[in-house]
Amino acid sequence: MGDSQADFSKNVFLVGGITLACVLVHFIYKFFISNKENDLQLVHETESEPVAPVAEATSQQAAPETRPSGKAKKRTTWKTKSEEFSHPWLLKNLKGHPGNVLHMDFSANGKYMASTCDEADSSPEVVAAARRRKPRERRRPPAAPPSPPPPRISPEELAEALRPHLLSPQRMWTLGYPFEIEPNSCKAVVYVNPPPRPRPATSWDVNAPEFVPSGGSCGDSGRGSCGSSPRSDSDEEADAVERTCVRCDALFRMSRDGDYVSEEPCVYHWGRAGAERRYSCCGAAPGARGCSTARLHVWSGTRPGMNGPLDGYVRARSRRGGVFALDTEMCYTTSGLELASVAVVAADGRLVYRALVRPAGRVVDHNTRFSGIRPRDLARATKTLRDVQNDILGFVGSDTILVGHALDNDLRVLKLLHGAVVDTVALYPHARGWPLRRSLRALAAELLGRSVQRGTHSPLEDARAAMDLVLLRVHAERPPRPRPAPAVAPAVALLPYDPLLVPA
C-alpha cells in the first residue's frame, strides 16, 4: 500500500513538471519568435510597396498603425539616410525643415528625436511656409548707420578748453554763489536774487473809497502806533520769526528752535507758469487756487537779498586738478533746504562718489517729486554733512573745475566754497535773459536727445547730463585741425556719456 502511494506521487510530480515546461516553451515562442516574424513581415511589406509622389503622399490620410501585441521595444531601422519613405507622415515637412524628411529616430534613452531632410526645394508647400515666416523679418526697421563719434579730447585739453567758461567772481555773486567773508573764517555770505514769480492780473475797483492820509492821527485803520500799545521788535524776535513759503508765498511763523507756531496746510502749484501763462501742473492761470496740498509750509533757508554770515563752510586748500560734475538732491527741514543725496562723476561719466546724507534738522517734506528722496532712503543714510565735506575735499582741490547745472544751490547745501566752476545755466542762457534759467530737462532733451528727470530723479543722471552738455560745447568750439596719428594711444579719451553703452 505504501509503495503504490509513492508511485502515485511521483506520477503527479512528473505530469506537473511536463505541463510547466510546455507552458514555458509556449510563452517563449509567443513573445520572442512570433514578434520577430511579425517585424520581418512588416519590413518586407514596406520595402515591396512603390514610392508615391510627394504631392499624392501629402494628400493622403495617415493610416492607423497596427502594433503587435506584447511588450517588445524593438524598432525598425532604415538602411540609409538617402532613401525616401512611402508613409505619408514621413513624407511631410516638420517645422524648421526645408525639405522632405529622410531619416528620423529616437535617441538611445528614448527621450529625444532626431531627423534629417532634403535640401530646400521649390514645392508649393515649402514656398508658402517660407512666405509665412518672412513678414516678421520685414517688419523690423532697417538699422540706422552709426553716427560718427565726436572728436576725442584728453583730460588736460578739456581743463584747458574750460578755462574761458569759468565764472567770474562778479557773475558768481549775481548767480547766488557763496563767498567767504574773511580768509580762513569758515563763514560765508550769499546774495539771493529770487526768480520772478507770476503775479495775478489786478483789476481796478471804481467803487473803492478814496484814501485820505490821516497825518499821524489815531483815527486810522488801526495799523498805526495809536490804540493798543505795540510790542517791541526784540519781543517779536524772541517769540517767533516770520518766514515766507517758497511754494505758495504765504507767511508763516516759526520759533527760534525750529518749531512751527501754527501748523497750516500749504496749497500750491508744483508746476511752473510757461510762455502760455498757465501752470504746467494743472493748466490754471496765475492767481488760481493751488492744485496740490502739503501738511506744512516750507522755506529754503535763505531770503531775498543778503544772507549771512553763515557758518560751517569749508574750502579746498591744495591743488589737485581734474574736472568733475556734481549734483545734489535736497529735502525741506525746519532749517530750510538740507542735503539728502550727492553724486560726483568724472569727465567720462564714471561714478566717482555717491552718498546718502542724514539731515541735521527735522524733515518736514522729502520733496520726492523733485528730489526722488523717500523716507526709506534717509532711514538708511549714515553720513552727515561733515562726512561728505571731508570725502569731497579728498579729491577736489582748489584748481579742480566743478561742472553742474545751477551749481550755486549745490554748493550752498554742501557748504562748499569754490572758485573754479562751469555752470550750464550760464553756458546755455535763457532766450529772455537773466534771471530766467533753462531747466536741465529741456537742455538735455534739445541738445542731447536724452530724457532726464522723468519718473525717479537721480543726482547721478543729472551730473552726467551736465557733463555731457559741457563736452558738447567744448567739441563744438574746437577747430577741426588734422592731427598726426600718435605713436602711443592716449590712456584716457573723453566722450559724451552714453547710458546704453556704459553701465551705471
Helix (H) or strand (E) holding 326: strand 323-333
Closest Cα partner for 101 from 81, 121, 74? Answer: 81
Q: How high is the pLDDT of residue 316?
A: 93
In the three-class reduction of DSSP (H, G, I as helix; E, B as strand; rest coil), residue 137 is classed as: helix
Q: How high is the pLDDT of residue 183?
A: 84
Q: How high is the pLDDT of residue 386?
A: 95
Is-cis flag, bond preceding 209, omega within 30? no
Minimum mean pLDDT range among 183-192, 381-390, 447-456: 447-456
In the three-class reduction of DSSP (H, G, I as helix; E, B as strand; rest coil), residue 105 is classed as: strand
- DSSP string of 32-56? IIHHHHHHHHHHHHHHHSPPPPHHH
In the predicted model, is pLDDT for residue 82 greater than 50?
Answer: no
Give domain limits for the chain: 155-192+309-477, 233-301
- DSSP string of 159-204? HHHTGGGSPPHHHHHHHT--EESSTT---EEEEE-PPP---PPP--
pLDDT, one tens digit per residue, over 169-222 is: 999 999 999 999 888 888 999 998 865 555 544 444 545 555 444 444 343 433
Is-cis flag, bond preceding 309, omega within 30? yes
Pairing of strands 266-268, 113-117: unpaired
Closest Cα partner for 367 from 341, 406, 388? Answer: 341
Which of 42-46, 130-134, 267-271, 354-358: highest mean pLDDT?
A: 354-358
Name residue 422's amino acid.
Answer: V
Q: How high is the pLDDT of residue 330?
A: 93
pLDDT, one tens digit per residue, over 416-445 is: 999 999 999 999 998 888 878 898 989 999
Position of cell 552709426?
A: 146
Q: State whether CATH 3.30.420.10 applies to domain 155-192+309-477.
A: yes
Average pLDDT in the 290-313 region? Answer: 90
Q: How high is the pLDDT of residue 76?
A: 53
d(CA 350, CA 334) in angstroms, rounded, equals 35
* 469 Cβ contact partners less than 8 Å away, ≥ 6 residues apart: 405, 424, 427, 428, 443, 444, 447, 448
pLDDT band, very low/low/confident/very high, at 372 (cuts 50, 70, 90): confident
In the predicted model, is pLDDT for residue 52 greater than 50?
Answer: no
Minimum mean pLDDT range among 41-50, 214-223, 402-411: 214-223
Question: Within 10 Å of residue 377's Cβ, how many Cβ atoms?
Answer: 17
d(CA 90, CA 103) in angstroms, rounded, equals 8
Q: How high is the pLDDT of residue 75?
A: 53
pLDDT band, very low/low/confident/very high, at 159 (cuts 50, 70, 90): very high
d(CA 184, CA 186) in angstroms, rounded, equals 6
d(CA 437, CA 26) in angstroms, rounded, equals 103
Q: Are 187 and 313 in contact (CB under 8 A)?
A: yes
Helix (H) or strand (E) holding 280: none
Rounded to 10°, the helix 407-414/385-392 angle is 120
Q: How high is the pLDDT of residue 203?
A: 46
In the predicted model, is pLDDT for residue 117 greater than 80?
Answer: no
Q: Are 75 and 95 in contact (CB under 8 A)?
A: no
d(CA 191, CA 338) in angstroms, rounded, equals 18
Cβ burial of 169 (10 Å; 0-12, 13-18, 19+) is: exposed
Q: Are 167 and 422 in contact (CB under 8 A)?
A: yes
Q: Are 344 and 325 in contact (CB under 8 A)?
A: yes
In the predicted model, is pLDDT for residue 477 greater than 70?
Answer: yes
In the predicted model, is pLDDT for residue 36 greater than 80?
Answer: no
Q: Which three cell numbers stand for residue 462?
A: 543729472
In the three-class reduction of DSSP (H, G, I as helix; E, B as strand; rest coil), residue 58 is classed as: helix
Average pLDDT in the 343-356 region? Answer: 94
260 has which bridge partners? 254
Q: How high is the pLDDT of residue 228?
A: 41
d(CA 413, CA 410) in angstroms, rounded, equals 5
Pairing of strands 323-333, 401-404: parallel
Average pLDDT in the 338-363 region? Answer: 94
End-to-end, the C-alpha distance of the chain in Å comes to 107
Q: Which residue has the higher pLDDT, 278 or 68?
A: 278
Q: How high is the pLDDT of residue 492?
A: 55
d(CA 320, CA 396) in angstroms, rounded, equals 6
In the predicted model, is pLDDT for residue 165 greater than 70?
Answer: yes
Q: How high is the pLDDT of residue 256?
A: 82
Pairing of strands 188-192, 305-310: antiparallel
Position of cell 506520477?
A: 11
Q: How high is the pLDDT of residue 60?
A: 44
d(CA 400, CA 384) in angstroms, rounded, equals 23
Question: C-alpha 27: how far from its chain's center?
Answer: 74
Q: Are 295 and 367 in contact (CB under 8 A)?
A: no
Cβ burial of 132 (10 Å; 0-12, 13-18, 19+) is: exposed
Mean pLDDT (the chain) is 75
